Structure 1
């Protein structure tokens, strides 16, 4: 799994339908202070990657304490998460000008893995709102800091082969 974690003061997502307008079947999702997370999944990702990544994100100390140091977690501040499935995080741009997405997980697997990941985050006591898997979305955020961190289980997770 590959995620882009952005510390935000607020974030939102809407789904756009085939007419280019807001999809009335999707209720706009909004959060206050917390993380907006873009989530990419490969076919090799499963429970082990979900557990490690969930622990890392819930305990990531990037929120300021009373002394202004990044020393508090999302759990410490009572923050929220907006999770957006993002297969394009696995774009391969080494050849040509059109990205290849062959490393991205197949939709059936990626959707289930993303849902399990969001549930794991919720089980840590953090409210999680979501976009819609596979949809055209309009995402808005105010990056606070800015603080943006990329975590890749293939590279960062202990015991990973890279």
Structure 2
């Protein structure tokens, strides 16, 4: 699994003009699933995401987590994170998981993130899997990280 995580002041996702998820301060997560991914990957990535300490303290050091700042999470599925552009100009998506596998592991990630965030009462919002979404966000920093479970295997 691959996650592109951005620290935000606000993020919102709409499908057909209707808000499906929104947060204030927190982390916006684009999540891609590849064919080799497993439930273990989803759980490990969710745990890592929930525990990231990338919010600044009063001295400007990134040492606070979402739970320290009352932040939320907005998770949006994005198969294009597995687009391979090494050859030609049109991305190749053959590494991306098929819809059924991707949706199951996306849901597993969201569930594991909800469980990790529940003790602190942090919200976890989502887009709509497979939908054409419009995303608004107010990035903070900017702070952007890429986590890839393939690098942890």
Question: Normalized against structure 1, the TM-score is what?
Answer: 0.88
Q: Look up the match of 1:151.
A: 147
In 1, Cα distance between equivalents of 2:21 and 2:52: 23
The number of aligned residues is 149
What displacement does 1:64 show?
Answer: 1.1
What is the correspondence of 1:10-89 to structure 2 with a 5 Å cutoff? 10-16=10-16, 22=17, 26-89=18-81
Unaligned runs of 5+ in 2: none
What displacement does 1:59 show?
Answer: 1.3
Q: Which moved more, 1:58-67 or 1:85-94?
A: 58-67
Q: Look up the match of 2:83.
A: 91
Q: Look up the match of 2:8.
A: 8
Candidates 132, 135, 145, aligned match of 1:136 = 132
In 2, Cα distance between equivalents of 1:113 and 1:57: 15
What displacement does 1:66 show?
Answer: 2.4
What displacement does 1:109 show?
Answer: 0.6
Q: Deviations over 1:25-60 (max 9, x none)?
A: x54421100000000001221221122211211111
Unaligned runs of 5+ in 1: 17-21
Q: Look up the match of 1:19.
A: none
Greater percentage in helix: 2
